[in-house]
Chain A
Amino acid sequence: MNCVIRRQVLYWVRYIHVKEALRMKYLIANSTAEVLEFLKEAGGTASILAGGTDLILDIESGKKKADTLVDVTRIPELKKIEEVDGFLEIGAAATLTEIQKNPLVRKYFPSLAKGCKTVGSSLIQNVATLAGNVITAQPAADAGMALSVLDPRFVLVDEEGTRECGVDEMYAGFGVSTLDSGRTLMTKIKIPLPNKNEAASFQRLELRKSLSLPMLNVAAMASIKDGKFEWVRLRMAPVGKGPVRAAEAEEWLVGKEVSAETFKKAGELALENANPRSNPLRGSKEYRESTLPVMVRRALLEIATQLNVMEG
């Protein structure tokens, strides 16, 4: 008897599951206006889909819910990468491959190209987007990390209009964005073009070169004048929520001479803001605490090398 009931229950569970799957709608938007229209119609139960390399798996595992997917990858305006009024503008549907191969990105922000090139594998990069890398808000996201120190502004559009957001306003928690993909569309990412005395770097510690999440990654951007740091933006992950600012090190570095000693001290100070945990995939807390200062040193050295202040 028990067996019969169990079978009946299993049947219903399966029936409901299949029903639910069949309820999913897939809409291909041709313009930003159409995206907003589709999102409004769904009343918050839809989700914007770009590359989908994380979203599809998250929906299947039940981590995320959406009964309508709005594909934004065919909106021409969202695919553009161009220089506009002192900014590099990257459309939210541009893939990581398109970004890393783009001559403007390579010219102005080689560290961003490097970050995009380390996400998953080239097969992932062929469909995944930089906007998606930020919105999935995984603390290990390499492209989002490389981007985070470039002072990016995220252009968001919803029913109420258009607004711009900075890095710290984007991350709500581990894997949680402040952006509600059921209501808001990111259209592009604007990055101010660097001055001659500014450069950026992205460093990564990993087990293998491909298909492996970083044990640590560090991104930095700095302005150097007369052999001294004018300002430094330094972020590290995954040591907390999103790209974590090494605020102590940033403040201390201002006005300091560009030297190996300075890099070393900055590396030590970075630990003040980092809380790396032991993780079977990423290594022990002790190991990650000993290697983080090295990554910071490498990042700063690379910047100094790019600006011809020091030899690499």
Chain B
Amino acid sequence: MKERLVTTVNGRRIERYVDPSMRLVDFLRDELLLTGTKIGCKQGECGACTIIMNGTAVLSCIMPVMKAMDAEILTIEGLEKDGTLHPIQDEFIKGGAIQCGFCTPGFIMGTKALLDENPSPTSEEVREELSGHICRCTGYKKIEEAVLKAAERLREEKDD
């Protein structure tokens, strides 16, 4: 039995008939072909599948697709504007906060949700808020630095 799903993904309204036992991450990747969102553990433990739903960072791998009904979803693909990367993406690249890149979309979406709510986080707050994301390459230090740099840049942009 398929259910009707109406949702907004990266500003685009989407209407589909979906199998309700599907997870949101599979819908994004397999149906909408938005493969920027990664599947790591598929158990809610690694953070690779993090997306933003109605302003909150959530794990799309343990979320039934129907939770997206009437929701505003933002994935990593929705961050760049007219070919220009979002300051968070840019700072991750500049600061070497990326190695293999698999955890990066999750980290960046987690960072976006954090900075939207708290534009001036302390190092401690960054560590705490992003503690649900696992990275096996960078050792986290560079990620933390990139987040703080991005926060600074976003604050400056806002003041301009």
Contacts and interface: CB of A to CB of B under 8 A. Distances in A.
Contacts, number: 80
Contacts of A71: 64, 66-67
Contacts of A8: none
A122 B129 contact: yes
Given A57-B43, A122-B131, A123-B59, A49 B64 contact: yes
Interface in B127-143: 128-129, 131-134
A217 B33 CA distance: 43
A279 B1 CA distance: 42
A269 B63 CA distance: 43
B44 A122 contact: no
A209 B69 CA distance: 33
A71 B66 CA distance: 9
Interface string A95-131: 0010000000000000000000000111110110000
Contacts of B57: 122-123, 126
B17 to A, nearest CB: 12
A124 B132 contact: yes
Interface residues of B, number: 29
Contacts of B20: 24-26, 69
Interface in B1-50: 1-3, 19-21, 23, 43-45, 47, 50
B126 to A, nearest CB: 12
Nearest to A24: B21
A22 interface: yes
B50 to A, nearest CB: 6
A179 interface: no
A6 interface: no
B131 A127 contact: no
A21 interface: yes
A295 to B, nearest CB: 22
A211 B132 contact: yes
B131 A209 contact: yes
Contacts of A69: 20, 64, 66
Contacts of A73: 67
B79 interface: no
A227 interface: no
Contacts of B133: 123
Contact of A210 (B63, B110, B131): B131
Nearest to B132: A121
A71 B1 CA distance: 17
Residue of A69, A71, A120, A126 with highest tally of chain B CB at under 10 A: A126
Instruction: Across the A-B interface, give the 8 residue pairs with the lowest CB-CB distance, nearest first.
Output: A121-B132, A26-B20, A210-B131, A123-B132, A26-B66, A24-B21, A21-B21, A126-B56
20 contacts: A21-B21, A24-B1, A24-B20, A24-B21, A49-B64, A52-B64, A52-B67, A56-B23, A57-B43, A69-B66, A71-B67, A120-B45, A120-B132, A121-B47, A123-B110, A126-B58, A127-B58, A210-B131, A210-B132, A211-B45
Interface of B: 1-3, 19-21, 23, 43-45, 47, 50, 56-59, 62-64, 66-67, 69, 110, 128-129, 131-134
